[in-house]
Amino acid sequence: MQTLRQILEEIQSYSDGQEMSREPHNLYDPIAYILQLGGKRLRPALVLMGYNLYGDDTKKALPAAFAIELFHNFTLMHDDIMDNAPLRRGKPTVHVRYDRNTAILSGDAMLILAYRYLMSVDADARVCTEAINIFNRCALEVCEGQQMDMDFENRTDVSIPEYLKMIELKTAVLLGAALEIGAIIGAAKQDDAKHLYEFGRKLGISFQLQDDILDSFGDPATFGKKVGGDISQNKKTFLYLHSLETAEPADREALWNWYHSAVDESRSAEKIEAVKQIFLRCGVVDRANELKNRYYHEALENLRMVAIPETAKATMYGFAADLMQRSV
């Protein structure tokens, strides 16, 4: 059984060995560029971890893992265009470094390449078809989640259940699908594959709730992003929605005004601090932690239901714990 570090090293080695320097260079160079920006490689790692529960030769699952990494970066490339984001992982985004049309077309090519790699998996036709069906379902759900997120920007009546559904689709289903695809390639039984999907899906929701908390109350030195970004962008996160429901009238009015009135850049820090204080008065961090922990424990329960020895799941348990141990 491989450790997570060994899995990540194998993914990096495989990724480095893929030829992306081909013509026309203006199509493929942006793909190589965004892949070289790094990232945690969590999603392709989950493919190999899912496979590793049933098979020993992870080389068989590497094309599928790389397909998931291509798809994930395709979504980031297009998300950055939609958000007009200047930076990705501290570097210029593809549409800034190159141009908008190039980024759109290169993203399209990444999606097509993801299918090519997924179809190159060394498995029988039934397994390949099943893996592609899982991928198709997940890819469409990610698009649905992104559309919901964009719709929320112009809505004033977003509910907490809608928000949880959005983060499930936009973030969590890809973690679940990565595990499910890896398990299917490893010849897992259907029940096991579904429990692994649920483990990844619920872990993904828990992870996003943790991210919401850290975005407002995390330590910038360890969080890796500027604290207060969601507040600055008026993101309707769980913290905002729960506070809006539970705040005293004066705080509710203030929160609404901060999110729905134009705020000069010079007052950004003031806005972030004022909103954080409202969050604290509403006790929303405790509520978010309760919900995060509920999804986390439900994820672990699904992992326990996978019908293999518990000792074989050590890497998976460690992955889940490491993912959730980022501290405020």
Dihedral of the alpha carbons of 43, 138, 91, 42, in degrees to the nearest 10: -10
CATH fold, domain 189-328, is Farnesyl Diphosphate Synthase (1.10.600)
Tokens (6 digits) for 246: 């539970």
**Average pLDDT estimate for 226-232:** 85
**Average pLDDT estimate for 139-150:** 97
pTM of the model: 0.94
Res 203: pLDDT: 97
Separation of alpha carbons 106 and 77, rounded Å? 9
Confidence of residue 56 (pLDDT cuts 50, 70, 90): confident
Separation of alpha carbons 204 and 167, rounded Å? 8
Domain locations in the chain? Answer: 1-188, 189-328
Confidence of residue 327 (pLDDT cuts 50, 70, 90): very low
Closest CA to 199 of 297, 290, 61: 297
Tokens (6 digits) for 211: 């991210």
Separation of alpha carbons 274 and 198, rounded Å? 37
pLDDT tens, position by position, 154-199: 999 999 999 999 999 999 999 999 999 999 999 999 999 999 999 9
pLDDT tens, position by position, 244-297: 999 999 999 999 999 998 888 889 999 999 999 999 999 999 999 999 999 999
Res 328: pLDDT: 41
CATH architecture of the domain with residue range 1-188: Orthogonal Bundle (1.10)
pLDDT tens, position by position, 65-124: 999 999 999 999 999 999 888 888 889 999 999 999 999 999 999 999 999 999 999 889
What is the number of alpha carbons within 13 Å of residue 45 lying toward its C-beta? 19
Comparing 1-188 with 189-328, is the CATH topology the same?
yes
Confidence of residue 312 (pLDDT cuts 50, 70, 90): very high
Q: Which strand (E) or helix (H) includes residue 96?
A: helix 94-97
Which residues fall within 8 angstroms of residue 97, CB to CB, at 6 or more apart?
30, 33, 91
Which residues fall within 8 angstroms of residue 141, CB to CB, at 6 or more apart?
169, 173
Separation of alpha carbons 155 and 258, rounded Å? 15
pLDDT tens, position by position, 1-33: 788 889 999 999 999 899 887 899 999 999 999
Higher pLDDT: 266 or 206? It is 206
